[in-house]
Structure 1
Amino acid sequence: MPIKQISVVLPVFNEESIIEKLAKEIEKNIEYPMEFVFINDGSTDNTLETLKKYRTEKKNTQKKIIDLARNFGHQQALMAGLSSVSPDSDMIVVMDADFQDAPEDISRLINQIEKGYDCVYAVRTANSGSRLIDFSTKFFYKIQKLFLRFTIPSNAGTFSVFNREVLDNILEFKESEIYFPGLRAYVGLNQTGVPVKRGARAYGESKVGKMGLLNLSMSGILGFSIVPMRAIFLFGVLVTIFCFFLGIVIFLLKISGITKVMGVTTILIFMLGLFGIQIMFVGIVGEYVGKLFIEAKKRPRWIIRKVIDDK
């Protein structure tokens, strides 16, 4: 089926120095009629003014600006943008606005869509440059594969192209805690990945700190699986069985006089170890309870201050 129009969804936060250049590069790499959906995620610099100016420069590409009331976070801003895609668009491109996702790779993803895929995502092949982040990323994906009943592709972030069917299914998800690569993978349908080199940030500094990456990682695991809860239960069963038999062994050793029973120091170390494990498990349970608390309040996932478009 021929592509009628492509919507490019770009969440933006304090990117006044690069957003116009990025948009123009994207235009060069898309041959189809297109629209931009910019989501200004509470920027504190001149990003909004830059977008307004760029919107008036060229009329053959539709440009829509979603100005959020404050900073709601990248994932929420992305969902706000997807909710505002034109009904005329039958193909959607989502990517970050920091030039780490190369505009020239868009055509490579679209080429795969034209072969009949419903969704094509970019798979990063280059390391981040930080050993800690690279190690943490590999560990995260291994844990994810262990816990989840479906596969979230490794090293596949936001950058992707998908059709209207995938978009409509993604918009059915109403949770507040969002991990977009997980939602995209959960939809299923006919998906494939394209290897890309993700370069260093061209301008400025990353807006997502280590805590932001940690929160996203937790959402990527706890938001799609209850296996950690079951693992806690099974561990508790195993510890109970172990302690039961250990008690029998200690009792038999004591009454037989074969050897001395473990001293107070050994018992204290053992108890402190179990106490640390208990605290960790309570923290995991707390994460689930916290997510339930957030979802139960059903607050708006984002608030739009103003929509600026041609209508």
Structure 2
Amino acid sequence: MEPIKTPTFSVVVPVYNSERSLEELYQRISAVFAKMGHAFEIIFVNDYSSDRSYAVLRDIHKAHAENTIIVDLLRNYGQHNAVICGFNYCSGDYVVTIDDDLQNPPEEIPAIFKKLNEGYDVVFGIPEEKNHKAYKNLGSLMIRKLNRKIFSLKNKLRFSSFRIIKKEIVDEVKTMKTPFPYISGMLLTVTRSVGNHEVEHQSRRYGRSNYNLRKLIKLSFNLLINYSAIPLRAIGVFGFIISIISFIIGMVYIFRQLFIGEAPEGWTTLVVLISFYNALFLVFFSILGEYISRLLKESSKVSQFVVRAVHYQNRLSHSDTKNNPQN
């Protein structure tokens, strides 16, 4: 039996309800690296699929145990947590992340890798034109604008789930133990040597997209709450504006009381005090919220994922490992 080569590339695939595309995805990835002449491994992370995805993955592993690792999660943790889980099993010098639906063609990997070799730590494969429904395109635009605001992007840099990352960057990302990971944002906290390469984006051939409007809104909310203080600052500004307005209204009613005598007795004082203190509380709460959010980010102990089982080189190991399977 020949010794197993250390892979040059590790491919992480988060899997959710994609039973019909998985075999083709493996074959196409395998063909790409055979043509490139590089050893590779594929880490499929089953994110608690409700179809036969896990059974299909086991069959793929039985046939190709030398270069596949199957990780089965205990419940659905979401795409980003599944990718973080996959990072923990990577041994290649370069890590590729790609979706399971074949909309990102694996045949684009060599071109993205060529771009990476121009001196980048991370390169995102950006579709020239996405074949999505209108609401998803609108959601993508909203996420893109949030990214530019939150991460202070000065150029035309865009994010996608199709990327190649140097292993040392992945190792740094693995140390970040937030229960609400956003892979692209985490990469930017490690390095700013990030580039884009335009790739083809194909129509989805099997099933329906797992991203719906609710998930896009949830992703936007997580971006705002976990990677920025924009909501807190907005509340603070709002409170400050209300304070000014309440002060102006109070002065108007005081003037009317003193010089015209039109305001009901006691009403002026009540309105001014309620308006002023409500606005003041908003300001106080925003400041407290800023401190609390930062403390929670530092002290969060919530698991990013829990592994049920791992299929690795014809061996099956059961595990309840939390956050990092190497702990």
Shorter chain as denominator, the TM-score bin is 0.7 to 0.9
Q: Corresponding residue for 2:310?
A: 307
* 1:80 paired to 2:97: no
Q: 1:94 aligns with which of 93, 97, 100?
A: 97
Q: Give the deviation of 1:78 after TM superposition.
A: 0.9
Secondary structure of the residue that 1:29 maps to in structure 2?
helix
Q: How many angstroms apart in 2 are the aligned matches of 1:209 and 1:129? A: 11
Q: How many angstroms apart in 1 are the aligned matches of 2:305 and 2:81? A: 7
Q: Give the deviation of 1:66 after TM superposition.
A: 0.8
Q: Is the 8 A contact 1:144 1:221 kept in 2?
A: no
Q: Is the 8 A contact 1:7 1:91 kept in 2?
A: yes
* 1:39 paired to 2:45: yes
TM-score of the two chains, using structure 2 as the length reference? 0.77
Q: How many angstroms apart in 1 are the aligned matches of 2:228 and 2:44? A: 32
Q: How many angstroms apart in 2 are the aligned matches of 1:238 and 1:130? A: 39
CA distance 1:308–1:129, shift in 2 (3 Å): closer
Secondary structure of the residue that 2:240 maps to in structure 1?
helix
1:241-280 → structure 2 map (5 Å cutoff): 241-252=244-255
Q: How many angstroms apart in 1 are the aligned matches of 2:87 and 2:194? A: 19
1:211-266 per-residue CA deviation (whole Å, 9 max, x = no partner) reads 11211121222211113212211221122012212322344356666x99xxxxxx
Q: Is the 8 A contact 1:4 1:90 kept in 2?
A: yes
Q: Give the deviation of 1:7 after TM superposition.
A: 0.4
1:11-26 → structure 2 map (5 Å cutoff): 11-26=14-29
Q: Corresponding residue for 2:195?
A: 192
Q: 1:69 aligns with which of 61, 74, 95?
A: 74
Q: 2:54 aligns with which of 48, 51, 60?
A: 48
CA distance 1:127–1:150, shift in 2 (3 Å): closer
Q: How many angstroms apart in 1 are the aligned matches of 2:203 and 2:46? A: 22
TM-score of the two chains, using structure 1 as the length reference? 0.80
CA distance 1:38–1:136, shift in 2 (3 Å): closer
Instruction: Name the Cα RMSD after superposition.
Output: 3.5
Secondary structure of the residue that 1:132 maps to in structure 2?
helix
Q: Is the 8 A contact 2:147 2:153 kept in 1?
A: no
Q: Give the deviation of 1:115 after TM superposition.
A: 2.5
Secondary structure of the residue that 1:36 maps to in structure 2?
strand
Q: Structure 1 regions of 5+ residues with no counterpart? A: 261-270
Task: State which drifts further: 210-219 or 168-177.
Answer: 210-219
* 1:120 paired to 2:123: yes
The percent identity for this pair of structures is 25
* 1:104 paired to 2:107: yes
In structure 1, what residue type is equivalent to 2:123? V
1:96-155 per-residue CA deviation (whole Å, 9 max, x = no partner) reads 101111112111111112223211112233245433332333233324433445679764
Secondary structure of the residue that 2:161 maps to in structure 1?
strand
Secondary structure of the residue that 2:101 maps to in structure 1?
coil
How many residues of Structure 1 are paired with residues of Structure 2 in the alignment?
Answer: 292
Secondary structure of the residue that 1:109 maps to in structure 2?
helix
In structure 2, what residue type is equivalent to 1:50? V
Q: Is the 8 A contact 1:120 1:193 kept in 2?
A: yes
Q: Corresponding residue for 1:231?
A: 234
Q: 1:5 aligns with which of 8, 11, 18?
A: 8
Q: Is the 8 A contact 2:18 2:100 kept in 1?
A: yes
1:286-301 → structure 2 map (5 Å cutoff): 298-301=301-304
Q: Is the 8 A contact 2:14 2:100 kept in 1?
A: yes
* 1:146 paired to 2:149: yes
Q: Give the deviation of 1:58 after TM superposition.
A: 4.1
Q: How many angstroms apart in 2 are the aligned matches of 1:288 and 1:219? A: 18
Q: Is the 8 A contact 1:222 1:288 kept in 2?
A: no
